[in-house]
Structure 1
C-alpha cells in the first residue's frame, strides 16, 4: 500500500516538473522551486538523473534563455544541478 502511494506521489511530482515554467519568477526562485520538487522526488526513492533535470529546467525557462540553452543541451557530459544553476544565474546577470 505504501509503495503505491509513493509511486503515485512521484508521478504527480514528475508531472509538475514537466509542466513547470519560470513565468514571472526570478531565475533563483525558479531554480529553487525545481530543486524542491527534485529533492522531494528523491526522498521517495525516485531520483531524477542530471540530463532529465537539465531538460526540465531548460524547457521551463522561456525565450530569454534560448541563447544559452542550445550549448547546454549539446554538452557531452551531463551538468550537475549546481553547474547548471551557476550558468543560468550568470546568464541572467548578463541579461
Structure 2
C-alpha cells in the first residue's frame, strides 16, 4: 500500500487513493451479494435454513449500506421457493398491506 500513497502529502489524498483502490472490490462484493439474493433457491434446505441464508445475505448488504426494501426482499425470498409453497406465495402477494 505504501507504493500507492507515498507521494501523498496529507491524509485527504491518502484516503482518496485508498477509496479508489478498494471501491472496485466493494462494488464487486455488492454485485455478488445482490446476485446471490436474487438467485438463491430453497432446494433441499429446510425453510428455516433458507430464511437464515437469505437473512445472512441481507445482513451483509446492510453492513455495506445497501439494504433491500421489504418488498424487494419478499420477492427474492418468494422467488426462491418451490411450487409446494404456491399457496403461501399467493396469500402473501395478494395482500393489500405490506409484509415485513
**Which band: TM-score by shorter chain?**
0.7 to 0.9
Select which of 89, 94, 98 maps to 1:69: 89
What runs of 5+ residues in structure 2 fail to find an aligned partner?
A: 1-19
SS at match of 1:48: coil
- 1:50 Cα offset (Å): 0.3
More helix by share: 1
RMSD over aligned Cα atoms: 1.1
Report the CA distance between 1:31 and its aligned residue.
Answer: 0.3
- 1:1-95 matches, within 5 Å, as 1=20, 2-80=22-100
TM score, norm. by length of structure 2 = 0.74
How high is the TM-score relative to the length of structure 1? 0.78
In 2, Cα distance between equivalents of 1:3 and 1:37: 20
Q: Gaps spanning 5+ residues in structure 1: where? A: 81-95
Greater relative contact order (Cα < 8 A, sep 6+)? 1
* Cα separation, 2, equivalents of 1:10 and 1:43: 10
Q: Distance in 2 between matches of 1:5 and 1:77?
A: 38
Alignment partner of 2:96: what SS? coil
Highest Rg: 1 or 2?
2
Which contiguous aligned blocks of 4+ residues in structure 1 show a shift greater than 3 angstroms?
none
